[in-house]
Chains A and B, each alone.
Chain A
């Protein structure tokens, strides 16, 4: 007979899956929020920060810190998503497969 939801919830593998995925998901979400709203606040308070984002990367260059920070936010969105997907592919799918198998 197939396991009930409560049985599956008692499975240590289920608890591991849920706990690790929850931690990773919320940690990465918090990281994305911090990066994005950090960027927005840097922009909003740029004048108070002595035009931090307008500082040239090197003496004589026109590329500013702001351009690099903006690109960093875009790339970080992709990288954070990638970290999650890699972890999920490597661990969660296998755990899920085992849980499904054991609950049949």
Chain B
């Protein structure tokens, strides 16, 4: 079990043990690591171009963002292909780029296990969620989850699920952004976090979903193009033979042939399955991802967009695998990228990479494309963070303005302009809170937060959403109890997990109540069981109304009759 304990620890110490680097959360939140680098003007220049360009788009988007539909969902006017790119842009974080290629660099095959985990949720989204979601919803997933139920309790529960998920994901991204930018651009941590916060507030408040979508599309194109070029250059050096690349890598890597087979990443089946569930169904419950399905005109476009997204994301993870192996061959063999001090202390060339294994992909960019390309990839990594945090903030702001303000507080009678104003204020507040928390958590180990966000999405948002669409017998009471039980048990499970209880809170090793890396297996079971039990026990008049509403909901979810279409432009 001891190896599993470190699965979620993601220690932020430079040169941390390989097992700690192998943490899934590490793969999504580059925690700490690395001294401030010399100011990199090429990278800053490229990034400035990106900012000017995206601000131009925001200005253009702001002029067309007048209605609530425009603000929340770009008026449903995004095509399936564009949305596929935007979903990929929303999902492929800087950390999955740098973190997974870094993991492949240090451990080889084990990196592939993670790539797979981040991908397999998408087919499930296509088969079970995308189309009924689009047919039933308007702006947020709570529209769907509350469709036939009593509005206030479900909206409050869904908003809690959304805000908690968004908050943890956002903090992890902000801390990751600060550390990464310090490392890549040589900017001060605090400035880096403030720049990210300000830009994200500007994109979302002025440009709403239109600007956010285009930032995500541009970022996805840049990231895919950059990663393709790197993988191409690596393979070109080996006559486009992966076998030749692997042969050279196993020759220079200190673990030799062991990098071609499973290492120490997974040793307990129970923990592995629980983590797999969180990754798979968490994807299907992330509010910022679900929201993207309302930006297309109909269910057909929603279905197509996940297909494209699955293709882009799968392709990208294959690239990161090649990039990781390329870095083994081209980076770990070049003293220019290694820390002589660490080498002198007897570290292997793989361990001695300057600025931790997160730099593997960045250094490889320099090795295959020179300083200009290194600057480009650094700028892309920054752009990537911006695209992800913008999507998160928009989802959080929508939960506040659309679910809490307009539906709960104003009883569904809010003036549209007031609702937009509230969402803009909520964006600014969320942005400021994210910056403050990003600074507060600078020295903290936040690596567990992404895992926590996925657990909560899988244990609260996903069960309620799925059951509301599929099960006639669900009632308001069942949904609320099941959802809150799922949310609470995921939170409790993470707090008393080794990663938080022992690593973050500093209690004795082995003292954590739950010796499992991720609670999803249990918290999802509790959520589904809670929904079932409290719905079955519910004999109220409301329960009858909830069930009676199923037919109308079902027909609409299957056929789209009565669904909100693309609004006028």
Residues of A within 8 A of B (CB): 5-6, 8-9, 14, 17-18, 21, 24-26, 28-29, 32-33, 35-37, 39-41, 43-46, 51, 53-54, 61-64, 66-67, 70-71, 73-75, 77-78, 80-82, 84-85, 88-89, 93, 96, 99-100, 103
Known contacts A45-B269, A53-B261, A74-B116, A26 near B127 by CB under 8 Å? yes
Is there an interface contact between B303 and A5, defined as CB atoms closer than 8 Å? no
Q: How far is the CA of A24 from the CA of B303 in the complex (A)?
A: 14
Task: Encode contact with A along B380-403: 1 for CB under 8 Å, 0 otherwise.
Answer: 000000000000000000000000
Q: Give complex CA distance A14, B260 in Å.
A: 50
Give the complex CA separation of A28 and B304 in angstroms.
16
Q: Is B551 touching A9 in the complex (CB atoms < 8 A)?
A: yes
Given contacts A5-B555, A62-B250, A66-B262, 9 further A-B contacts (CB under 8 A): A5-B556, A9-B551, A29-B124, A35-B120, A36-B276, A43-B262, A63-B242, A85-B304, A88-B131
Q: Are B310 and A51 in contact (CB under 8 A)?
A: no
In contact, B243 and A81 (Cβ under 8 angstroms): no
**Contact residues in B for A41 (Cβ distance below 8 Å):** 269, 272-273
> Which residues of B lie under 8 Å from residue A9 when comparing CB positions?
551, 554-555
Nearest CB on A from B466, distance (A): 11
CA separation between A84 and B124, bound complex, in Å? 11
Tell me the nearest residue of chain A to B300, going by C-beta.
A93
* Complex contacts, B317 vs chain A, CB 8 Å: 74
Q: Tell me, rounded to whole Å, the shortest Cβ–Cβ distance linking B514 to chain A.
A: 19
Query: Is A100's CB under 8 angstroms from B306's CB?
Result: no
- Which residues on the B side are within 8 Å of A96 (C-beta)? 558-560
Q: Does B307 contact A (CB under 8 A)?
A: yes
Given known A-B contacts A28-B123, A43-B262, A78 and B311 have beta carbons under 8 A apart: yes
CB-defined contacts of A54 to chain B, threshold 8 Å: 257, 260-262
State in angstroms the CA–CA spacing of A5 and B131 once bound together: 18
B492 near A: Cβ within 8 Å?
no
Which of A8, A44, A78, A84 touches B561 (beta carbons < 8 Å)?
A8
4 smallest CB-CB distances across A and B, nearest first, come from A54-B261, A70-B112, A25-B127, A5-B552
Chain B residues, Cβ within 8 Å of A24: 127
Interface residues in B98-114 by Cβ distance below 8 A to A read: 109, 112-113
Enumerate 6 A-B pairs (CB-CB under 8 Å) in ascending A order.
A44-B268, A63-B260, A64-B109, A70-B109, A81-B123, A81-B307
Q: Is the CB of A14 within 8 A of B123?
A: no
Judging by beta carbons under 8 Å apart, are A40 and B261 in contact?
Answer: no
The answer to whether A100 and B109 have CB atoms under 8 Å apart is: no
Assess whether A70 is in contact with B113, with CB atoms less than 8 Å apart.
yes
Q: Does B1 contact A (CB under 8 A)?
A: no
Listed residue (A26, A41, A46, A70) with the most chain B CB atoms within 10 angstroms of its CB: A70
Pick the contact of B314: A17, A35, A74, A93 (CB < 8 A): A74
Interface residues of B in 258-279 (CB under 8 A from A): 260-262, 265-269, 272-273, 276
Give every chain A residue within 8 A of B561 (Cβ-Cβ). 8, 99-100, 103
What are the residues of chain B within 8 A of A43 when measuring CB–CB? 113, 262, 265-266, 272
Q: What is the minimal beta-carbon distance from A23 to any residue of chain B, in angstroms? A: 11
In contact, B261 and A29 (Cβ under 8 angstroms): no
CA distance A44 to B110 in the complex (A): 11
Q: Are A75 and B314 in contact (CB under 8 A)?
A: yes
Q: Which residue of A lies closest to B80 (CB)?
A: A85
Which residues of chain A are near B119, meaning CB under 8 Å? 73-74, 77
Which residues does chain A contribute within 8 Å of B247, judged by CB atoms? Answer: 62
Q: Does B195 contact A (CB under 8 A)?
A: no
List residues of chain A with CB within 8 A of the CB of B123.
28-29, 32, 77, 80-81, 84
Contacts of B307 in A (CB 8 A): 81-82, 85
CB distance from A99 to the nearest CB of B (A): 5
Chain B residue at minimum C-beta to C-beta distance from A36: B120
Q: Are B273 and A40 touching (Cβ within 8 A)?
A: yes
The minimal Cβ–Cβ distance linking A93 to chain B, given in whole angstroms, is 6
A84 to B299, CA, bound (A): 13
The residues of A that contact B109 with a CB separation of less than 8 Å are 53, 64, 66-67, 70
Asked whether B243 lies within 8 Å of A37 as measured between CB atoms, the reply is: no
Give chain A residues whose Cβ lies under 8 Å from the Cβ of B560: 96, 100
What's the Cα separation between A8 and B561 when bound, in Å? 10
Q: B303 to A73, Cβ gap below 8 A?
A: no
Within 8 A of A (CB), among B287-315: 300, 303-304, 306-307, 310-311, 314
CB of A90 to closest CB in B, whole Å: 12
